[in-house]
Amino acid sequence: MGGPPGNGDLARAFDFILRADMAGTRRAPSRSGTAVLMPECPLRQDSNYLLASDPPPGADAAALAGEADRVLGAAGLRHRCIFFRDTLAGERLAPGFEALGWRTFRGVLMALRRPPRAGALPPGGPVLRVEASVLRAAREASILGYPWGTPEVARQLLDARDHVPVETRHYAVLEGGEPAAWVEMYLEGGTAQVEALFTAERFRRRGHGSALVLHAAEEARREGADLVFLCADAEDRPRELYRRLGFEEIGGYLKFTRG
């Protein structure tokens, strides 16, 4: 991680994220970059946010928060979300946002660089490629398990996947005929993103997550992807799992949210 995104895999990964997992269905101009919007699913923050790609020189957190109020409020959104690819600029502004009552999320981008560490993984699996409909009820239940989860939030989070403009594949491990764990993969050209890994509580510590990530990555490689990456919480344990699986950090980002 470090300063502004440069060339190479980091720039490719960011560009892919904005076309895939964080895609909207329309955009609006902003004095600080671009408002990415998905009116069909307004409760999904990662499809309705201010991409702060070009903030005015010297702009502080209050100014950017005001710009988010202007462009996201005009779209009828109740939440606020600002996405920074430039980690140095984001870190400079983080204390100001937090003083205003916003939350800070620090993410890392990790690319597959090497084989998994020998002997570090339980077997997991077997992994199946499935239709999204097979997972919908289980994914809805997982969303409802969060404090912020409601039936309408779950519906919009799942429906937003229908608007992703790149190929999406779904993989799962089944136990007793029900989904125990699942993951998505977005694929286009030579780039693939592994996303939305989840294992139900009662099926954890069996290696399913590792098996799913590696299977999706292998499928991407077979399809010709020379960049396979994922996003992780910089402050959460899965980051260490991904390192054991052969992923290495290539950059970072910050999101500031309110509401």
Name, in order, each residue with C-beta under 8 angstroms of 119's C-beta and a sequence gap of 6 or more: none
CA pair distance 110, 30, nearest whole angstrom = 29
pLDDT in tens, the chain (259 residues): 344 434 599 999 999 999 999 999 999 999 999 999 999 999 999 999 999 999 999 999 999 999 999 999 999 999 999 999 999 999 999 999 999 999 999 999 999 999 887 665 566 779 999 999 999 999 999 999 999 999 999 999 999 999 999 999 999 999 999 999 999 999 998 999 999 999 999 999 899 999 999 999 999 999 999 999 999 999 888 889 999 999 999 999 999 999 9
pTM above 0.85, yes or no: yes
Measure CA of the first residue to CA of the last residue in the chain; give whole Å.
28
Domains of the chain: 9-108 (no CATH), 128-251 (3.40.630.30)
Half-sphere exposure of residue 55, counting CA atoms within 13 Å on the CB side? 25
